Amino acid sequence: IADQYQYDLVVLGGGSGGLAAAKQATELGAKVAVFDYVIPSPQGTKWGLGGTCVNVGCIPKKLMHQAALLGEAVHEATAFGWQIPEVKSVKIDWEALTTAVQNHVKSVNWVTRVELRNKKVEYINALGYFKDPHTIGGIMKNGEEKVVTAKNVLIAVGGRPNYPDIPGAVEYGITSDDIFSLSKPPGKTLVVGAGYIGLECAGFLNGLGYDATIMVRSIILRGFDQQMANIIAEEMETRGVHFIYQAKPKALEKQADGSILVHWVDKDGQIHKDVYDTVLFAIGRKALTKDLKLENAGVFVVPENEKIDALNEQTNVPHVYAVGDVLHKKPELTPVAIHAGKLLAKRLYGNATELMDYTNVATTVFSPLEYGCVGLSEEQAIAIHGEDSIEIYHAYYKPTEFFVPQKDNSRCYLKVVALRNNDQKVLGLHFVGPNAGEVIQGFATAIKCNLTFPLLKSTVGIHPTIAEEFTRVNITKRSGMDPKPQS
């Protein structure tokens, strides 16, 4: 049957999920083509092959977060005896930072291209869409159309940032698509949205020395453990990030000096006005399914969010699959897209049967003091099992490296969400502190191996680390005892 079509698999979208599936499929002998095309942001920002994570997501975000942490470290270093002349006047060179970040991104774009060539995946730089269930058309940069046929099609087009429907938003606002290559320093910045992208962007901007304000419509980090979310927000506030709660922007106006006048409304309906140099919208992302002409293939989307509700990555049309951010109610994370893409390719071309497990996926919010977690939040655990069946162990801790520079450790906190009965299975782990992602990653494996609270307690720690605090925790919330460290 394969001969009936030019390709065994055509992948729409060369990002985390699409590329992982394409490479895995070719390794297993399939003939694969990948369509990837980036529509410039309303501000004109565009980028190369590799998708969101590499170009305008995880990678540049982590680099800017690291730049902010280093600024902090410069000051701490003096407490350890480093002699840094004029340490008080240390400041960031935005252009040097964005150049360094973009150089790295471009090097990854290049490596990605070479890898595809080596693996014999055909890369087509065109905006793909369905002409019929097995025929894909792609409009290339020069306007010409490339048409191919495929036995199977994988939709991995990801998403792009939303803009609010208010005057001036699209003209004068920016999003995470623009911030990592912004040609001028962002200056005083309003970040609209308190999801993880909003917190991370405001966090690194503040750490880099820019005045940052977060406008919160309702709560911080919807979907995450709210106690932990509020701890990282408090920490950000202590570090100088401003928060405007229960507020929404109404309009953006460009002023003669280039600054942006933001009209916003508070919870009582009062209108306020403030001036910013940059307004960054981080109000969620929309799946890029509109351009795909899915109706030509008969693929359904969820009407409310235009995402695809696939079962084991298979859409309602059996030979059309989907992975990554485009999926309905699945974590929008790079390793999730990659893992699902690889497993799907192995099932399609390697006779494998393993299905993607979307539960207990660990994640980290790279806020100035990071928050890493895996499994259920306290609220979710209580909602599922009932308060009487859940035990919450918690502790504040003091990282050794905080003592000499006398860093504020008052929000270094962790908690373990466990069942109370029989084996005391661990349902969730939450950690606020430095390197939270590094701390949580290994524990995520432990949870996959059915970690119980007694097993956690029988684990010998590595001293002196912050991760060992998980092996020392023994105070329950129920006991009402003070979880602050005694020394």
> In angstroms, rounded to a whole number, what is the distance separating the alpha carbons of residues 121 and 22?
7
Contact of 68 with 203, CB cutoff 8 Å: yes
448 binds ligand NA7 (CB under 6 A): no
18 binds, among ligand NA7, ligand FAD, none (CB under 5 to 8 A by kind): ligand FAD
Within 299-358, the residues that bind ligand FAD by CB under 6 A are: 324-326, 332-335, 337
Q: Which does 217 bind (CB under 5 to 8 A by kind): ligand NA7, ligand FAD, none?
A: ligand NA7
Residue 230 Cβ, how far from ligand FAD at the closest point, in Å?
A: 21
Contact between 367 and ligand FAD per CB under 6 A: no
Residue 176 in contact with ligand FAD, rule: CB under 6 A:
yes
> Could you tell which of ligand NA7, ligand FAD, none binds residue 284, using a CB distance below 5 to 8 A set by kind?
ligand NA7
Q: Is 399 in the site for ligand NA7 (CB under 6 A)?
A: no
Q: Which stretch binds ligand FAD (CB under 6 A): 109-117, 272-280, 288-296, 421-429?
A: 288-296
283 binds ligand NA7 (CB under 6 A): yes
Could you tell me how far CA 97 lies from the centroid of its own chain? 21
Minimum distance between the CB of residue 195 and ligand NA7, rounded to whole angstroms?
2
- 272 catalytically annotated: no
Interface residue with ligand FAD, options 42, 43, 58, 131 (CB under 6 A):
58
For ligand FAD, which is the closer residue by CB, 13 or 207?
13
The footprint of ligand NA7 on residues 324-363 (CB under 6 A) is 332-333
Q: Which is nearer to ligand NA7, 138 or 193 (CB)?
A: 193
Which residues 135-164 are close enough to bind ligand NA7 by CB under 6 A?
164
Cβ closer to ligand FAD: 338 or 456? 338
Of residues 13, 302, 18, 33, the one with CA closest to residue 160? 13
282 binding ligand NA7? (CB under 6 A): yes
DSSP-derived pairing of the beta strands 426-432 and 413-419: antiparallel
Residue 193 as a binder of ligand NA7 (CB under 6 A): the answer is yes
Residue 191 interacts, among ligand NA7, ligand FAD, none and using kind-specific CB cut-offs from 5 to 8 Å, with: none
| Residue 217 binds to ligand NA7 (criterion: CB under 6 A) | yes
The answer to whether 15 contacts ligand FAD (rule: CB under 6 A) is yes
The 179-218 site mask, x for binding ligand FAD (CB under 6 A), equals: ------------------x---------------------
Question: What residue is closest to ligand NA7 based on CB?
Answer: 195
Taking CB under 6 A as the rule, does residue 284 contact ligand FAD? no
List all residues 6 or more positions away from 289 whose beta carbon is below 8 Å from its beta carbon.
Answer: 155, 157, 301, 306, 307, 308, 326
How many residues bind to ligand NA7 according to rule CB under 6 A? 19
Minimum separation from the CB atom of position 248 to ligand FAD (A): 21
What residue 222 binds from ligand FAD, ligand NA7, none (CB within 5 to 8 A, per partner kind)? ligand NA7
**Per CB under 6 A, which of residues 255..274 are in contact with ligand FAD?**
none
- Among positions 222, 254, 272, 290, the unique one binding ligand NA7 when judged by CB under 6 A: 222
Cα gap 262→248, rounded to integer Å? 10
Q: Is it true that the peptide bond before 167 is cis, omega within 30 degrees of 0?
A: no
Is residue 61 close enough to count as binding ligand FAD by CB under 6 A? yes
Of 139, 193, 196, 146, which Cα lies nearest the Cα of 169? Answer: 193
Residue found under tokens 């393993």: 354
Tokens describing residue 233: 């927000």
Catalytic residue among 242, 319, 328, 463: 463
Q: Which residues bind ligand NA7 (CB under 6 A)?
A: 164, 192-198, 217-219, 222, 248, 282-285, 332-333
Q: Give me the residues that bind ligand FAD (CB under 6 A), please.
A: 12-18, 35-38, 51-53, 56-58, 61, 127-128, 156-158, 176, 197, 288, 291-292, 324-326, 332-335, 337
> Mind telling me the catalytic residues?
463
